[in-house]
Amino acid sequence: MTMNSKIEKLIKQFSKLPRLGSRAAQRIVLYLLQDKTGKSEKLANALLDAAENIRPCPVCGVLTDADVATCEFCRDSSRANGQLCIVRDLSDVWTLEKSSVFLGRYHILGGLLSGVAGTTPDDLNIANLSERLQKENITEVIFALPNTVEGKTTQHYVMSLITPNTQVKFYELASGVPLGGDLDYLDDGTLSLAFGGRKEL
């Protein structure tokens, strides 16, 4: 007996989410479809609302309300301290905010350069980066990218774009970030150590 095509389609969509395999996707779908408390409808409505009313900040890439010009970080004058932290995605921003180790502004690349994944410079949020540095008087750029080949490649590429046009100092996170490590897996103490001991490039 074959699975209902609509259920199968839904499972396939869930299984495409990061870190979610087909078995986990199947369990989630079955739970939602058999739930009698209205959770599935609430989830669907929340997803639709977010899809229609959330967009990336045109300056830094942080997801924000579609009816505001820029995100809360870009609007907060207290964060205009000359520091800009470059990260891969929004989850890295959340991790750093939770640990309270960084009080400047962010720039989300939206990925990392990767020949295997086919990610090129055109896929990254870097077009306005040099302009940001000058407009916001950035004096210190901190790379908080994964300690991987892709992370280092991306870091060097971004530096090559910025260096000819600015006198800013570049830093990367220091001890505490293991080879191949992502920020998501680091505790607050490790992040604090890594930021406090950042190395100039």
Q: Which residues of 116-141 are buried (b: 16+ CB within 10 A; e: fewer)?
A: eeebeeeebbbeebbebbeebebebb
Least Cα distance to 91 among 158, 17, 162 occurs for 17
Strand 63-65 and strand 54-56: the pairing is antiparallel
Report pLDDT for 155. Answer: 92
DSSP state, residue 147: S
Q: What is the pTM of this model?
A: 0.78
Average pLDDT, stretch 131-153?
A: 91
Spatial CB neighbours of 40, under 8 Å, sequence gap ≥ 6: 32, 33
In angstroms, the CA 175 to CA 10 distance is 43
Q: What pLDDT, in 10s, does the model give residues 86-126? A: 999 999 999 899 888 899 999 999 999 988 888 899 999 99
Report pLDDT for 78. Answer: 95
Least Cα distance to 4 among 35, 30, 32 occurs for 30
Structural domains in the chain? Answer: 5-55 (1.10.8.420), 70-200 (3.40.1360.10)
Helix (H/G/I), strand (E/B), else coil: 13: helix
- 8 A C-beta contact, residue 194 and residue 177: yes
Least Cα distance to 170 among 145, 192, 146, 135 occurs for 145
Average pLDDT, stretch 173-187?
A: 57
In angstroms, the CA 46 to CA 87 distance is 27
- 8 A C-beta contact, residue 142 and residue 83: yes
Report pLDDT for 85. Answer: 96
Q: What pLDDT, in 10s, does the model give residues 27-81? A: 999 898 898 888 888 988 999 999 999 999 999 999 999 999 999 999 999 999 9
Report pLDDT for 2. Answer: 72
